[in-house]
Structure 1
Amino acid sequence: MKITDLLKEDTIILDLQATSKADVIDELVSKLDEAGRLNDKQAYKDAILERESQSTTGIGEGIAIPHAKTSAVATPAIVFGRAKEGIDYESLDGAPSHLFFMIAASEGANQTHLETLSRLSSFLMDKDFRQKLEEASSEAEVMTVIDAKEQEESEETQQETGNQASSILAVTGCPTGIAHTYMAADKLKETASEMGITIKVETNGSGGVKNRLTDEEIEQADAIIVAADTKIETDRFRGKPLIQVPVGKAIHQPKELLNKAVNKDAPIYQGDGGQSSDENNQNSGGRSGFYKHLMNGVSNMLPFVVGGGILIAISFLWGINSADPANDDYNRFAEMLNTIGGGNAFFLMVPVLAGFIASSIADRPGFAPGMIAGLIAITSGVEGADGGSGFLGGLIAGFLAGYVTLFVKKAMQGLPAIFDGLKTVLLYPVFAIGITGLIMLLINPPLTTIYTGLSSWLESLGGSNLVLLGLLLGGMMAVDMGGPINKAAYTFGIAMLDADNFTFIAAIMAGGMVPPLSLAVATTMFKNKFTKQEREAGKSAYALGAFFITEGAIPFAAADPARVIPSVAIGSAIAGGLTMLFDIGLRAPHGGIVVAGLVEGNPLLYLLAILVGTAVSAAMLGFLKKDLRKE
């Protein structure tokens, strides 16, 4: 969109009569109203004044850009005013302002309008451009000056990009944001370089968003790839060919994705008004919406679980009752750690899980209902049941809050535009929180009964049943190494940790450490069966396995899944089963070797379980893998 699509001759004032800032605003607003660009003149003026009360829009260099985005605007527009003598507009540099561009953006102004206005701001930094506007003798000449500037910028951009290969953008993200996110990014960049494709990859990892895509880069991109198993901000990609796939596909099939992007073999993304993120993902072979929403909750909950769990476990180094002032083992520092980890971080675990599941479903309006529903889940159960419905209630609370919020949003679509500003700050919260809260208060007591019954049944398991469950959980950690099966096992372990059952997470961690450790050992012992690149990767796999980062085995599994996956799954299952057999508990939900000192039971037997599982998997790999020298 061109600037002159928003600025017309009937919204240009070459000689402002105003003598003060208030007069300038009045005169420009009146011009917009006379040109039929406003629904409500006074409401638009109030929005302009509210923006000015935050900070002046007199940016200096003789320029002021008052602006507002409001439903009082009928048609997005720009009004230009010029005062040759200059007017005191309280500019940042203290100098009088000569050129005034008042921007009127409607409530539903799309990204194209906003980018056009941003381009105008950039043009005004050009001294020659400003001088031409100051010297223009007619409204038509003002339009010509602006059109010429846009044409000049367009030609420069074409010269800069005309000889480049296709420009592709990508975003990667996984629920934990530890390994898959960055492996997918590296694989896309490596493959793009081989194909002669220009690419930039934004990563949404545990440390936050890195290498964020800019609006200008998105505007110039030929297509965008979103490889993620967690919620990614996609509204910024409206109007662009968008490919949405699981993060694993970027690791295993980067060339296929890049070819689709180069050929623009993807639907044009329409945002909330068209094909939804989840629908796109399903059509591209991605995870279901349920999995994506669940993983958004789990990934945001993990810092609370890991940080809180390890702090609680450390507090027990002074004794199991060291946080109790009435006990002989009492230690003030241990009590503080226990309060931080258990009384606060672990207490927030379920509300955070529910809040982010709900916000994944219904965007920002779903967050508050989800948090409150999650809080109800852990505080309003049945008498004598500490912790309410716990993790189970949190899951149900998150999905309930998300879909109730969607219902509320849909029910209020027909309200007049004047209520748009009230929806997010008043109407959505009141109705979504109220409805969700009432339902949760009604269903939480029976959920609590189910949850406590399930927890009691699992705790009563013993002997062969417990070992079989350990075999299952350990094996699940290795089947897809960070995928939905792995995450299902880990999420179950967290739920049991929340229910004060510590044996399951111990089996799960042992099973998750075996795949990278066994491949590290195999690349060391059976060098002739691995490429040089795999042997180098095997060195880092020692550290990844030791710190419980199962994803360290993914490159090996991707290269030879038929041999690697069964081998590591069997070893992981054995490690999990032995951990249960040895009755090992662990209060820390992550960390691997870092939390070895926090093991409940015999730590040497826990180490033995991991070593036996690693040895079995490494031996199977050595037997099944082909000798590369013979090939």
Structure 2
Amino acid sequence: MKLVDIITHDNIILNLEGDNQADVIDELVDKLASNQLINDSEQFKKAIYKRENEISTAVGYGVAIPHAKSKSVNKPTIVMGRKLQGIDYGGQHTNLIFMIAAPENASNEHLSLLSKLSTFLMNEIFRAKLVLATSQDEVIKVIQEQEKQQVADKKEETGSGKYLIGITACMTGIAHTYMAAESLKDAAKSRGMKVKIQTNGSNGPENRLTAADIQNADAIVVAHDVRVDTSVLQGKQFVDVPVKKAINQADQLIEQALSYDIKENTVEKNVVEEEMQSEPEEKSGLNFYKHIMSGVSYMIPFVVVGGIFIAISFMFGINASNPESDQYNVIAAFFSQAGGDAAFALMVPILAGFIGYSIADKQGLAPAMIGGMMASIGGSGFLGGMVAGFVGGFAAKFIKKSMAKIPKSFQGLVSVLIVPLLSTLIVGVFMFFILNTPMSMLNEFLEGWLKGLTGINAAILGALLAGMMASDMGGPINKTASAFGLAMFAANIFEPSAALMVGGMVPPIGIALATSIFKNRFTIQEVEAGKASYVLGASFITEGAIPFAAADPLRIIPANIIGGAVGGAACMALDISLKAPHGGIFVIPIACNKPLLYIGCILLGSLITCFIIGFMKKPLSDKDRNNAKQMGSII
């Protein structure tokens, strides 16, 4: 069954009258009833709301797909509604609503229609055509063209003898992971290749590679900023790069991967079991950036939880967690213990442990984590924990490799006793006798220097940190600034964290403001994407700025840096601190010492970014504004 068979002229409303989600649902259900496609409006509406209460059917990109199966449905149907100015649907700004109605026994058809429609609506050009359509006939034509294109794409895929597979994984698993996967898919399809990319996102691996995928692959790309399990690739040679390179240079990476000719050079299976990771790990063993980001990604939840819990404790009074104080409150004591005594105490060991894990797998976890705990106890803190992670990880890796030729009957003893024992001895001696004393002295010096910063000196540091945070939006400069902020956070110095969050929030919010205030400088598609950037920026997801920076780097990136630097300078000059370095607007009320001033710093930086963009970008003609391709496929 085709979509055009069930989306008829009578099922299309180009100008919805409703101004909210409930009114729009009523309007679409009434349309189904008036066309005699359902026989009980109330029953079907209950089924729609039951699905909405489970999870909102707003899918992003200005689209919602409410759907339900019900006895009241006479035959599978889709009704489309459009509201050009948009409504709030499930907390998201939405312009296009497609309501799917299916009989109760039409499960396969229901899922097939939902899947097909969802796939079409991921295409920004298809969405733009629907938004711009002036009649029901034009909507039908757009859908027909998209279905024909899908058939053509499938024929092209089937006819190609080349198959690209890959894995993508970024530190947070929110944006870069999926952007890299999409970029690789687009580049592969432009070559007529079949493609499957596993995304290791925040919800775990999706679209998992199977043994058949790996066996049939002609090219493999692994793009990651954190450790991924490459043992599943059966020893085949693959391109190993950071996520950002896959976003920006997908075609070159595929070309490189194809040059490996992995079907001709695949090693024997019995050899794979012993050597499958040796070559990739040797190449990436000194990739300090990747190992640090692996540790930081596991550490961040402890930092966030600890910071928020301590901030909640302080809301009851500065000394409310102290049993000997008149302010004592048992709830405050609970939050203080869970946040400060537990979560914060685990930060450095977790950082060190997962740096070691990134280097040497499970063998590196125990020695590195023990070294991290010694760093925490011995006063060398965050920086000492990083060193402990590397020493423990590389010690475990070296000892494991040195004992590779021991008979297999003793390998179990090697892995559970000899490797962790010897590597822990190495890292322990190093931390206790060599590193902790000088590193703790360095930390004390840094803490004293930072605590003594006031006025112009504090402003300069704030500008530097926030400007670095805004510069490459998730790249190495951004991560370097983040690492410094986390080090200071672990030392109970919270002002740099505030400046860093300003630098991360300003770019997407500033760009969003620019798309609202200077609409004639952006395409219609960019203006729509700008609405999502408000939410992303408020949530401290800097990646919302990336599509705009990629499309116009010479204007957008300097504007981001300047706005972020001004906001960060104001933040530190005003002595604003933040005890939860992640979470955006959601943590400001409880974790910031001066929440209103802090929001003012963010708005100041965002407005500066906005007006620089508006000044530097030239107005577009109506023809250029309607060009949905200007931002590319990253939106």
Q: Give the TM-score normalised by the residue count of structure 2.
A: 0.68
Unmatched tracts of structure 2, length 5 or more = 1-156, 625-635
Q: Is the 8 Å Cα contact of residues 408 and 432 (structure 1) preserved in structure 2?
A: yes
Residue 372 in 1 paired to residue 363 in 2?
no
Residue number in structure 1 paired with 2:300 = 302
Q: CA RMSD, aligned part only?
A: 2.4
Q: Residue type matched to 1:613 in 2?
A: G
Q: The residue matched to 1:209 in structure 2 has which SS? A: strand
What's the offset of the Cα at 1:361? 1.5
Equivalent residue in structure 2 for 1:250, among 242, 246, 250: 246
Residue number in structure 1 paired with 2:605 = 613
Q: The residue matched to 1:325 in structure 2 has which SS? A: coil
CA–CA distance in structure 2, aligned partners of residues 578 and 162 of structure 1 = 58
Equivalent residue in structure 2 for 1:591, among 570, 583, 586: 583
CA–CA distance in structure 2, aligned partners of residues 239 and 586 of structure 1 = 46
Residue number in structure 1 paired with 2:233 = 237
Q: The residue matched to 1:586 in structure 2 has which SS? A: coil
CA–CA distance in structure 1, aligned partners of residues 520 and 184 of structure 2 = 29
Q: How does 1:396-475 map to 2 (within 5 A)?
A: 396-443=387-434, 444-475=436-467
Residue number in structure 2 paired with 1:168 = 164
Q: Residue type matched to 1:428 in 2?
A: V
What's the offset of the Cα at 1:422? 1.9
Equivalent residue in structure 2 for 1:277, among 252, 276, 280: 280
Q: Is the 8 Å Cα contact of residues 214 and 234 (structure 2) preserved in structure 1?
A: no
Distance 1:439 1:599, change over 3 A: closer
CA–CA distance in structure 1, aligned partners of residues 562 and 489 of structure 2 = 25
Q: The residue matched to 1:607 in structure 2 has which SS? A: helix
Q: How does 1:537-556 map to 2 (within 5 A)?
A: 537-556=529-548
What's the offset of the Cα at 1:261? 4.2
Q: Is the 8 Å Cα contact of residues 520 and 620 (structure 2) preserved in structure 1?
A: yes
Q: Is the 8 Å Cα contact of residues 389 and 452 (structure 1) preserved in structure 2?
A: no
Distance 1:406 1:453, change over 3 A: same
Q: Is the 8 Å Cα contact of residues 304 and 581 (structure 2) preserved in structure 1?
A: yes
Residue 390 in 1 paired to residue 381 in 2?
yes
Residue number in structure 2 paired with 1:351 = 349
Q: Residue type matched to 2:542 in 1?
A: T
Q: Residue type matched to 1:171 in 2?
A: I
CA–CA distance in structure 2, aligned partners of residues 169 and 557 of structure 1 = 28
CA–CA distance in structure 1, aligned partners of residues 266 and 226 of structure 2 = 18
Cα displacement string for residues 344-384 of structure 1 (whole angstroms, at most 9, x for unaligned residues): 111111001101111111222111100110011111x2xxx
Q: Is the 8 Å Cα contact of residues 228 and 247 (structure 1) preserved in structure 2?
A: yes
Cα displacement string for residues 56-94 of structure 1 (whole angstroms, at most 9, x for unaligned residues): xxxxxxxxxxxxxxxxxxxxxxxxxxxxxxxxxxxxxxx
CA–CA distance in structure 1, aligned partners of residues 612 and 596 of structure 2 = 24
Q: Is the 8 Å Cα contact of residues 505 and 540 (structure 2) preserved in structure 1?
A: yes
Residue number in structure 1 paired with 2:326 = 328
Q: The residue matched to 2:168 in structure 1 has which SS? A: strand
Cα displacement string for residues 395-425 of structure 1 (whole angstroms, at most 9, x for unaligned residues): 1111111121122123323434442232111
Percent same amino acid at aligned positions? 50
Distance 1:470 1:268, change over 3 A: farther
Residue number in structure 1 paired with 2:562 = 570
Cα displacement string for residues 412-454 of structure 1 (whole angstroms, at most 9, x for unaligned residues): 2343444223211121111111222122111222322222222
What's the offset of the Cα at 1:163? 4.1
Q: Is the 8 Å Cα contact of residues 404 and 432 (structure 1) preserved in structure 2?
A: yes
What's the offset of the Cα at 1:259? 4.4
Cα displacement string for residues 80-139 of structure 1 (whole angstroms, at most 9, x for unaligned residues): xxxxxxxxxxxxxxxxxxxxxxxxxxxxxxxxxxxxxxxxxxxxxxxxxxxxxxxxxxxx
Q: Residue type matched to 2:216 in 1?
A: Q
Residue number in structure 2 paired with 1:485 = 477
Residue number in structure 1 paired with 2:519 = 527
CA–CA distance in structure 2, aligned partners of residues 553 and 309 of structure 1 = 27
Please tell me whether Structure 1 or Structure 2 has the larger radius of gyration of its CA atoms.
1
Q: Give the TM-score normalised by the residue count of structure 1.
A: 0.69
Q: Is the 8 Å Cα contact of residues 511 and 575 (structure 1) preserved in structure 2?
A: yes
Residue number in structure 1 paired with 2:49 = none
Q: The residue matched to 2:221 in structure 1 has which SS? A: strand
CA–CA distance in structure 2, aligned partners of residues 268 and 308 of structure 1 = 49
Unmatched tracts of structure 1, length 5 or more = 1-160, 283-287, 382-387
CA–CA distance in structure 2, aligned partners of residues 253 and 410 of structure 1 = 35
CA–CA distance in structure 1, aligned partners of residues 277 and 190 of structure 2 = 35
Q: How does 1:5-24 map to 2 (within 5 A)?
A: none
Residue number in structure 1 paired with 2:218 = 222
Distance 1:542 1:466, change over 3 A: same
What's the offset of the Cα at 1:269? 8.0
Equivalent residue in structure 2 for 1:211, among 188, 194, 207: 207
Q: The residue matched to 2:587 in structure 1 has which SS? A: helix
Distance 1:239 1:528, change over 3 A: same
Q: Is the 8 Å Cα contact of residues 447 and 491 (structure 2) preserved in structure 1?
A: yes
CA–CA distance in structure 1, aligned partners of residues 296 and 216 of structure 2 = 34
CA–CA distance in structure 2, aligned partners of residues 401 and 204 of structure 1 = 26
What's the offset of the Cα at 1:313? 1.7
Q: The residue matched to 1:276 in structure 2 has which SS? A: helix
Cα displacement string for residues 280-310 of structure 1 (whole angstroms, at most 9, x for unaligned residues): 569xxxxx60111111111111111112222
What's the offset of the Cα at 1:511? 1.3
Residue number in structure 1 paired with 2:76 = none
What's the offset of the Cα at 1:337? 1.8
Deviates more, 1:489-498 or 1:266-275: 266-275
